[in-house]
Structure 1
Amino acid sequence: MKAIVLLCCFFIGRQVLFAQQGNPNYNKALADSLGADKYGMKMYVFVILKTGSNTNTDKTKLDGLFRGHMENITKLASSGKLVVAGPFKKNDRSFRGIFILNVKTTAEALELLDKDPAIKEKVLEAEILEWYGSAALPMYLPFHDKVGEQKP
């Protein structure tokens, strides 16, 4: 009986020891610079852009709003506040695109979104959710500029 208890303690202790091993690739300076927690993750604000209530069909007006929308995306990405953006294909849910914003609060996200002309004029509507993802997500942005032949 004593041997069985000792054997169980050995296996449980071994599992705990291996489960708590550190990451040999861990880079504290990089993790700190990206705001990573101990799992290499952090909070972002995930935005789903949907068709808004503004049904204006004036092509010149809409072109101007979407040009401003694209300029705002470029500005947000350049400032490090936007780490992912892109449109959806046509769908039955009226989803138009997504943003993943590198901000700490939904209030900060709302402040940034209010500067987007297409959102401000209600051509697009933003649904906002807090999202937990890899702190390294923004690191892909410098490479994006190297793979696109043309700018939108």
Structure 2
Amino acid sequence: MKKPILILAFLFLSLVSFSQETESKYDEKLAKSLNADERGMKKYVFCLLKTGTNTTATKEESQKAFEGHMTNIGRLAKEGKLVVAGPFMKNDRNYRGIYIFNVETVEEAKALVATDPAIQSNLLEAELTPWYASAALQETVKIHDKIVKPKF
């Protein structure tokens, strides 16, 4: 008699546990605001930044171009067009960094890349490809702003 009761208790607890684990946390309002599809995903354009062909730039020219590069990153992020950006660590493939653009087409991303002074001066070159990922990436900039210590 004890064995069937224990089995029923175990099954009941398993069912309760399973139902809690599979409970949906779906937020329709948030999903719509991020233009998420039914999988919580959306289209982006992934940009791989590589070392460009300009090997004759002076130190001053490079410094000015990369200062503009950083300013441009900040502007695109504030406009919501750039959701992730960052450099690669030293590597032997001439990979310098990435951008993930919050646009649907490579053509739109080409127009944004063209505003980067480091690319304009051929210190960097951009390789663009469509990419499909979590719509939540768009929230990265908001979260990042909360974890950067202010400069005094």
Q: Structure 1 residue 105 and structure 2 residue 105: aligned?
A: yes
Specify the alignment match of 1:139 in structure 2.
139
Specify the alignment match of 1:35 in structure 2.
35
Percent identical among aligned pairs is 53
Distance 1:52 1:23, change over 3 A: farther
Runs of 4+ with deviation above 6 angstroms: none
Cα deviation, residue 138, structure 1: 1.2
The alignment partner of 1:92 has SS state of: coil
2:81/2:102 contact within 8 Å kept: yes
2:84/2:140 contact within 8 Å kept: no
Partner AA of 1:113 in structure 2 = V
Q: What is the aligned residue count?
A: 130
- Aligned counterparts of 1:70 and 1:106: Cα–Cα separation in 2: 22
Specify the alignment match of 1:119 in structure 2.
119
Cα deviation, residue 141, structure 1: 1.4
5+ long unaligned stretches in structure 2 = 1-21
5+ long unaligned stretches in structure 1 = 1-21
State the TM-score, normalizing by the size of structure 2.
Answer: 0.81
Q: Structure 1 residue 77 and structure 2 residue 64: aligned?
A: no
The alignment partner of 1:136 has SS state of: helix
Cα deviation, residue 140, structure 1: 2.3
- Aligned counterparts of 1:34 and 1:149: Cα–Cα separation in 2: 27
Partner AA of 1:29 in structure 2 = K
67-76 or 140-149: bigger deviation:
140-149
Cα deviation, residue 127, structure 1: 0.6
1:80-134 Cα shifts (integer Å, max 9, x gaps): 0000000001101000000000001100000000010101111000011111100
* Aligned-pair Cα RMSD in Å: 1.5
The alignment partner of 2:143 has SS state of: helix
103-112 or 53-62: bigger deviation:
53-62
